[in-house]
């Protein structure tokens, strides 16, 4: 007899992990990070998202090991060059922040690249890229890691995007930092579902 839901594929453990998922700031993510083999699995999980018409409207840029500091140095230079009028001490302070934008063991830039030749609206394709970011976080959590999905200056500044390697028509859906949590922050207020959920009913006929 076919049972639904399939008891064999039910996982209270997986659901419990999702119920308590919490982001950890990139600066609080330390070694160990996912191994290259674990990253391969995580990226495969990340790519397993709903994708209307199978357009694969996203791609990944992985930033790990020495690439983090190398990219940081280039971003700091771009920040300095882009803000020549700024008061020097302030400019150096922010350039320093840009140089340390990748403190976690691994960061994955999820690049949204909607295909504009199709009937599928760009928004649907961008949502698919968002789902990629979320899958990465949940996948990393199931391996015992933590992470955070951010954007910020590097995800929006044209020169930073060029240094990251983005091309025409591409945007950053998210930069997902991954590693081991030095400390998991306390829970934050969560949405009041009672205020958000309605059950649709057919209008009463008079
Ligand atoms: C598209 C997107 C961009 C975000 N960018 C940032 C960011 O730049 N900096 C930041 O601190 N949080 C950012 N967040 C919020 C964090 O990912 C996270 O939701 C927040 O820290 C709350 O933690 P929680 O995931 O445990 O609820 C962003 C979230 C989304 C969906």
pLDDT tens digits, residue range 48-102? Answer: 999 999 999 999 999 999 999 999 999 999 999 999 999 999 999 999 999 999 9
For ligand 1, whether the C-beta of 172 sits within 6 Å is no
Q: What are the residue boundaries of the structural domains of the chain, listed by start?
A: 22-183
Residue 143's pLDDT band (cuts 50, 70, 90): very high
Cα four-point dihedral sign 148, 154, 158, 163 = negative
For ligand 1, whether the C-beta of 149 sits within 6 Å is yes
**150 alpha carbon to ligand 1 midpoint, in Å?**
5
pLDDT, residue 206, reads: 77
pLDDT, residue 7, reads: 81
Alpha-carbon distance of 106 to 33, in angstroms, equals 6
Over residues 185-201, the pLDDT tens digits come to 999 999 999 999 999 99
**82 alpha carbon to ligand 1 midpoint, in Å?**
26
For ligand 1, whether the C-beta of 20 sits within 6 Å is no
For ligand 1, whether the C-beta of 185 sits within 6 Å is no
> Radius of gyration over alpha carbons of the chain, in Å?
20
For ligand 1, whether the C-beta of 180 sits within 6 Å is no
126, two tokens: 């961008």
Task: Determine which residue's CA is closest to atom 3 belonging to ligand 1.
Answer: 150
Over residues 108-140, the pLDDT tens digits come to 999 999 999 999 999 999 999 999 999 999 999
**29 alpha carbon to ligand 1 midpoint, in Å?**
15
Q: Which atom of ligand 1 is nearest to the CA of 148?
A: 17
For residue 41, pLDDT beyond 80:
yes
From 105, 115, 101, 22, select the one nearest 62 (Cα to Cα): 105
- For 152, which DSSP code? S
**7 alpha carbon to ligand 1 midpoint, in Å?**
34
Task: Determine which residue's CA is closest to atom 9 belonging to ligand 1.
Answer: 150
CATH 2.40.280.10 fits 22-183, yes or no: no
């Amino acid at each position: 007899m076919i049972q639904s839901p399939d008891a064999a594929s039910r996982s209270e453990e997986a659901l419990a992990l999702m119920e308590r998922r919490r982001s950890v700031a990139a600066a609080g993510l330390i070694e160990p990070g996912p191994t290259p083999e674990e990253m391969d699995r995580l990226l495969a999980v990340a790519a397993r998202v709903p994708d209307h018409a199978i357009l694969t409207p996203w791609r990944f840029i992985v930033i790990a090991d020495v690439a983090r500091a190398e990219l940081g140095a280039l971003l700091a230079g771009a920040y300095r060059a882009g803000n020549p009028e700024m008061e020097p001490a302030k400019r150096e302070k922010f350039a320093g922040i840009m140089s340390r934008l990748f403190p976690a063991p691994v960061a994955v830039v999820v690049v949204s690249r909607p295909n504009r030749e199709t009937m599928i609206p760009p928004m649907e394709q961008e949502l698919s890229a968002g789902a990629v970011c979320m899958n990465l976080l949940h996948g990393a959590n199931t391996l015992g890691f933590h992470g955070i999905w951010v954007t910020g200056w590097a995800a929006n500044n044209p020169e930073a995007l060029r240094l990251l390697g983005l091309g025409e028509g591409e945007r950053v859906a998210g930069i997902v930092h991954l590693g081991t949590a030095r400390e998991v922050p306390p829970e934050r207020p969560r949405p009041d579902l009672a205020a958000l959920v309605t059950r649709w009913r057919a209008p009463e006929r008079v």
